[in-house]
Amino acid sequence: MKKLPIKGTRWLKTIHLVTVCMWVGGAASLLLILFLSRPASGDELYGINLAMKMVDDFAIIPGALGNICVGIIYGIWTKWGFFRHRWITAKWIMTIVQALFGTFFLGPWLNSNVAIAARLRDAAFTDPQFLYNQQMNSIFGIIQLSLLLLMVWISVFKPWKSKKHTSKAG
C-alpha cells in the first residue's frame, strides 16, 4: 500500500496531537471540576454535571475517536504500522481499552448523574446512585487520566523499542 508523503504525515501528526490534547485535557478538566467544585444547591449541582457532560461530549469523545481514526491511518499509510514496535502495540491496546471503558462505564455514570441532578436537584446530594456514579468517576477518572499520561510518555520515550530500530538521534 502506498505510504503518505512527508507533508501528509506531518498533517497527520498535527491532528494526532490536537486529538490527544482534547482527550487528555478533557479528562484533566473533568477531574478538576469533580474535585474542586463545591455546589451549594441542586441547581448548581445540575449545572456542574451538565458542564462535565459537555466536556465529555465535545472534547473527550471526539478526542478519543480522533485518536483511533488517526491511529488507523498511521497503521495503514505510514512506516509505523500497527505492530511493528511493542510500544505502538501497547498504545493500541490502551487506547481501545480506555475508549471502551469510557463508552460503557465512565460516560454512562456521568450521563446518569446529569439526569439524576436534573430530576432530584437538592435530593441528588444524598441519592445513592448519584453518589456511587460520582465515586466511580472519581476513582476510574484518575486511572483513565493516568493511563492517558502514560500513553503520552510512551509516545515520547518509545520504550521496548528493539535495538535495530533505535538511533543515536532518538
Total-model pTM: 0.92
Residue 163 clears pLDDT 80, i.e. is over it: no
Own/partner pairs, 147-153, CB within 8 angstroms, 24+ separation: 147/94, 147/98, 148/23, 148/24, 148/27, 148/98, 149/24, 150/94, 151/91, 151/94, 151/95, 152/20, 152/24
For residue 162, name the pLDDT band (cuts at 50, 70, 90).
low
Give the largest CA-CA distance in the chain: 62
Q: What is the pLDDT of residues 36-46, one digit of tens each?
A: 999 999 999 99
pLDDT of the residue at 2: 87
- What mean pLDDT is reported for the chain? 94
